[in-house]
Amino acid sequence: MNEMATASAMATGARKRIFSGVQPTGHLTLGNYLGAMRRWAEVDQHRADALFCVVNLHALTVEHDPARVRRLSRQAATLVLASGLDPELCTLFVQSQVDEHLRLSYLMECTASDGEMRRMIQYKEKAAREQGRGGSVRLSLLTYPALMAADILAYGTDEVPVGEDQAQHVELARDLAVRFNQRYGATFVVPKAVTPPVAARVKNLQEPTSKMGKSQDRTAGVVYLLDEPEAVRKKVMRAVTDSEPDVSYEPERRPGVANLLEVLAACAGSDPERLAEGYDSCGALKKDVAEAVVETLRPVQARHAELAAEPGLVDAVLLAGAERARGLARPRVDAAFEAIGVLPGR
Ligand code: AQP
């Protein structure tokens, strides 16, 4: 077996390996759900050996409150389970409970260049936001993609299902895997990003040219997964559209209307262009979007309430997940340390 084949076989055995994560930087949003979590539950956990992770160390790259991050980490894990992940089918764990992520992150920093880190769009946007809020920019915000590359590469991941905003970071993980393999010998599988066909970038309802983000200031345009139905309806009915009376799907020219059609298409399993033909006013469209979102969130919220009443259950799932993840990551991370020239420590 040649070196690349060995690396690949180490990773997958017979099945593909999938890795993806969510950051506990705020309350999870409809964007997180439609762009990533729903597919994890409906598709990914059934088609591959899938690992899902609450990437809590990433939440420390911006101004944070320790108690809040702790609370949001458990809430994110609970919501991911509530969205349909089955711990019998996939592995769910918390990043900080598996040391291999941090070990490998340093090797990724030794593989990446300063320039490629500074080019990351999310770094530029978040650095500007932190400065705008009067804070300082943490060094870890710059090096975040090295840790994210480590998250992915430690598991021999083939595919990373993400929303569009994370595709650039997965590209960087690819580049780092290729570079490391070329310099030090085949160690990592080269992963690829997989984005959903619709709702890959759900926009803020009040600012439909920006992503709907969980740590944004404009919360009136953000639908949170645990919003009450009335709050969802209010946010959708107040969504910014434009002054044209009809409905058409033109994302560049009419971003507000296009965003609503994409959300409806994602909730209803349809196509935004075809849906547009069925409406002659934005008011009617908004009403249907509001009800579709309420109905999409209803089972997730109900399951979340059940799980939240049994916090021991979520903790047990996370501990078992971390145990399995550790076992999967350690041989590859040890191999990377050896390949890069570090004397073995154990
Ligand atoms: N608006 C979105 N539309 C589609 N997909 C989205 N995702 C996030 N927002 C949208 C996807 O959800 C997954 C988990 O997201 P994350 O927590 O890793 O990243 P994030 O949402 O970009 O989190 P941040 O950094 O805390 O930023 P903000 O404050 O902007 O939300 C990912 O697959 C992501 O693509």
> Which of 18, 19, 20, 23 for mutating ligand 1's site (highest number of atoms within 8 Å of CB)?
23
Output the pLDDT for position 133.
85
pLDDT at position 265 is 97
Residue 160's DSSP bridge partners are 193
pLDDT above 70 coverage of the chain, percent: 96
Ligand 1, atom 8, residue with closest C-alpha: 32
pLDDT surpassing 90 at residue 199: no
In the DSSP assignment, the letter for residue 233 is H
Tokens of 85: 């992940």
For residue range 2-37, list pLDDT tens digits in order. Answer: 344 445 444 445 689 999 999 999 999 999 999 999
**So where are the chain's domains?**
3-195+311-340, 229-306
Which of 9-18, 51-60, 126-135, 301-310 is predicted with the least confidence, judged by mean pLDDT?
9-18
Among residues 195, 197, 165, 193, the alpha carbon closest in space to that of 262 is found at 197
Topology (CATH) of 229-306: Tyrosyl-Transfer RNA Synthetase (1.10.240)
- Spacing, Cα 243 to ligand 1 middle (Å): 30
Fold equal for 3-195+311-340 and 229-306: no
Kindly state the tokens that stand for 77: 């894990």
Q: Kindly report the pTM of this predicted structure.
A: 0.93
Angle at 345 between CA 173 and CA 5, to 5 degrees: 45
pLDDT value for 67: 98
Report pLDDT for 346. 61
Q: Are 35 and 197 in contact (CB under 8 A)?
A: no
Count of C-beta atoms within a 10 Å radius of residue 173:
27
156 lines ligand 1 (CB under 6 A): no
Q: Give, using CA atoms, the residue closest to atom 10 of ligand 1.
A: 31
- Backbone dihedral angles phi then psi of residue 280, each to the nearest 5 degrees: -115, 5
Buried b (16+ CB within 10 A) or exposed e, 80-98: bbbbbbebeebbbbbbbbb
Q: How far is CA 292 from CA 117, 172, 224, in A?
A: 39, 36, 14
Residue nearest to atom 30 of ligand 1 (CA): 213
Instruction: For ligand 1, say whether the CB of 304 is within 6 Å of any of its atoms.
Output: no
In this predicted structure, the answer to whether residue 143 has a pLDDT above a threshold of 50 is yes
Q: N- to C-terminal Cα distance for the chain?
A: 26
Q: Let me know: does 57 contact 5? Beta carbons within 8 Å.
A: no
Superfamily covering domain 3-195+311-340: HUPs (3.40.50.620)
Instruction: Look at residue 134 and tell me whether its pLDDT is greater than 90.
Output: no
User: How wide is the angle at C-alpha 33 spanned by C-alphas 32 and 35, nearest 5°?
Assistant: 65
Strand order in the sheet with 159-161: 91-94, 49-54, 17-22, 159-161, 192-194
Give per-residue pLDDT as tens, 211-250: 999 987 789 999 999 999 999 999 999 999 999 989 999 9
320-333 pLDDT tens trace? 999 999 999 999 99
Question: Average pLDDT of 36-50?
Answer: 96
Residue 338 CB contacts under 8 Å (≥ 6 apart), including other chains: 344
